[in-house]
Structure 1
Amino acid sequence: MGGCRKYWWTNLIYVNNYVIDDETCMGWSWYLANDMQFYIISPLILLPFNVFAGAACGVVFIAASTAAIWVVDVNHEYSAQAALPFAPPPKDANFTKNLYVPSYTRIGPYVLGLFAGYLLYKTSCKLRIPKAINILGWFLSFSLICTVIYSPYTDGQSHMLSIKESAAYFSFHRTGWGLAMSWIIVSCCTGHGGWINELLSWSGFIPLSRLTYCAYLIHPLIMTTFYMCRRELTYFTQFELIYLFLGHMTMTYGLSFIVSLVFEAPMMGLEKAVFRKGGK
């Protein structure tokens, strides 16, 4: 808790407090700082004098991020399979601070999201995609998703990644995932998503989507409280994991609903009232 008392102010100005001290209060809020930093620099991509300049700026951000991740990983020898007992040891134990949390390692998907949003805005979600291109896009997007998920998998020591292979994985896996998600969003928003769009557009997701921010803040507290209150070791089975997942999810969204009603909804109403009054 010493870090929390010392660096509490970093949350107020969206500085990445986890990089400063990994014992800060609500340590998982580090991504809020990343998101705000990306938001601040987004005009460099969205508001240049022409589309090509903005695209070039975005490509530069992605290329710089990719290069930085590669250099950091090769120098520190972090393995993409570090969770495995027979993974090669890194040079230090600062993976989270050096490669997981910093904003420069996560800007790629954000830039791709800006590109996708700009495309949908300029076309008013009426982009015509030929059927063959649409099928190819879905195939490639699912291939990227599977590659990102299953590349580090191994059932033994037969598929251990080298340091350079791990560096390549860390350098491209988030951007690749963001590219796949961008295609899914563009295809669904332009009417080319088929049954996947119908599933993702289900009205039942709307209430849950409005609670995601509160759920993001509350979820780690629920899990921490649960595990800290246990008096015996957990024997993890498939049933145990499914039960814990459903329990944590139910508790998280239940409390998120209360927190949203007490704090978030009144503040949003106040914000609308202030800006509406200012507009008049």
Structure 2
Amino acid sequence: MFQSWYLTCDTHYFLIVPFLTYLLWRKPKLGFLFCGILTFASLVTHFLTIYLNEEDPFLLLFMKVLRDPVLNKTFKTIYIPSHMRISPYLVGVIGGFVKFQMRSSAFKIAMRNVVFMWVIGLATGFAILFSSFLFYLPTENKDYTLHGFYGSFHHFLWSVCISALIVMVSENHGQWVAPYLNWRPWILLSRITYSAFLCHGGVQLYTSAIQRTPMYVGLFNIFYYAAADIVFAYLLGFCLSLVFESPILELERIILKKQFSTSKNIEETEQSHERKQDLKEVKDIYIPRIQKEISWNSYKL
């Protein structure tokens, strides 16, 4: 699977994220500081790598790249290294923590801020999405400063927009888009999206490898091949999820449920013991005092 390179990135992130989430939980300011430092370091590294090596801002998917992406310099130095991709991951971690804090503190976003965030978020997202074609245009003098800024910030800003969208919709500030996002078929597709991501690169590589004649590109052909690519990738992703991911998730659910039940029983036992201790203290302290008062009142009578 061509896209399985991302599993190494996930592994690297899983090694450091527990430490960051612990800091965010116990010492939020220090946790935010560490996340900010890592994000800034990733952005600067990304920019300098593109600018100094005169690289493309992202992997330009030409046919020669799809035939053998491993030979592409941008693929090796920009596209797959973990430190080049960690900033969106950290934005997601921070976004999840912000949502958790908002729920815990009953914090509400002011309506004027909601409107501002929607306008800026949508404008930024569409600008990132539709400006990428500029780097496909053939030019003699490339501006590698622009390459560096776009390459280092487009993933970061896109993840900020997505995180803000999730937070606002979950806080009932996106009723116009919430029914679409809560559409039940998306739940099924979301569970196999990662598996489809792992498979679809192989589908594209195979499609590119078996081409023996030039392909005519037209509007109908674009939609035709895109639809076939998406459907076939999700079918393979469904099979991959069914064979590997779902059994592992079920085992994890069983193990965690058992551990949760055990910890819950232990907690209930401890609480019961504490209640018994409290009751014993009440008996030892207050009952003799009450008996003494009753005896004294009886004596006075």
TM-score by length of 2: 0.73
Q: Which residue of the other structure, out of 153, 159, 170, is the alignment partner of 1:178?
A: 159
**Is the Cα contact below 8 Å between 2:13 and 2:86 reproduced in 1?**
yes
Structure 1 residues 56 and 150: alpha-carbon distance in aligned structure 2, compared to 1, 3 A threshold: same
**Is the Cα contact below 8 Å between 1:127 and 1:190 reproduced in 2?**
no
Equivalent in the alignment of 2:274: none
Quote the Cα distance in structure 1 between the aligned partners of 2:41 and 2:250.
40
Q: Offset of 1:99 from its aligned partner? A: 1.6
Equivalent in the alignment of 1:98: 77
Equivalent in the alignment of 1:134: 114
Quote the Cα distance in structure 1 between the aligned partners of 2:248 and 2:194.
14
Aligned-partner SS, 2:214: coil
Equivalent in the alignment of 1:107: 86
Aligned-partner SS, 1:211: helix
Equivalent in the alignment of 1:61: 38
Q: Percent identity?
A: 26
Q: Offset of 1:246 from its aligned partner? A: 1.1
Equivalent in the alignment of 1:121: 100
Q: Who wins on radius of gyration, i.e. which is larger?
A: 2
Pair 1:225 & 2:206 matched: yes
User: What amino acid is aligned across from residue 236 of structure 2 in structure 1?
Assistant: L
User: What amino acid is aligned across from residue 41 of structure 2 in structure 1?
Assistant: A
Structure 1 residues 193 and 159: alpha-carbon distance in aligned structure 2, compared to 1, 3 A threshold: farther
Quote the Cα distance in structure 2 between the aligned partners of 1:81 and 1:163.
12
Query: Quick one: higher RCO (CA 8 Å, sep 6+), 1 or 2?
Result: 2
Equivalent in the alignment of 1:51: 28
Q: Offset of 1:206 from its aligned partner? A: 1.0
Q: Offset of 1:153 from its aligned partner? A: 4.0
Q: Offset of 1:159 from its aligned partner? A: 11
Q: Which residue of the other structure, out of 151, 170, 173, is the alignment partner of 1:192?
A: 173
Equivalent in the alignment of 1:248: 229
Q: Offset of 1:242 from its aligned partner? A: 0.5
Bigger share in helix: 2
Q: Which residue of the other structure, out of 194, 199, 219, is the alignment partner of 1:213?
A: 194
Per-residue displacement from partner, 1:212-257 (whole Å, max 9, x unpaired)? 1321222222233333344433111111110111112222222333
Equivalent in the alignment of 1:266: 247
User: What amino acid is aligned across from residue 15 of structure 2 in structure 1?
Assistant: I
Q: Offset of 1:123 from its aligned partner? A: 2.3
Quote the Cα distance in structure 2 between the aligned partners of 1:161 and 1:196.
39
Query: Which residues of structure 2 form unaligned runs of 5+?
Result: 63-70, 263-301
TM-score by length of 1: 0.78
Q: Offset of 1:161 from its aligned partner? A: 5.4
**Is the Cα contact below 8 Å between 2:2 and 2:202 reproduced in 1?**
no
Aligned-partner SS, 1:248: helix
User: What amino acid is aligned across from residue 74 of structure 2 in structure 1?
Assistant: F
Q: CA RMSD in A?
A: 2.8
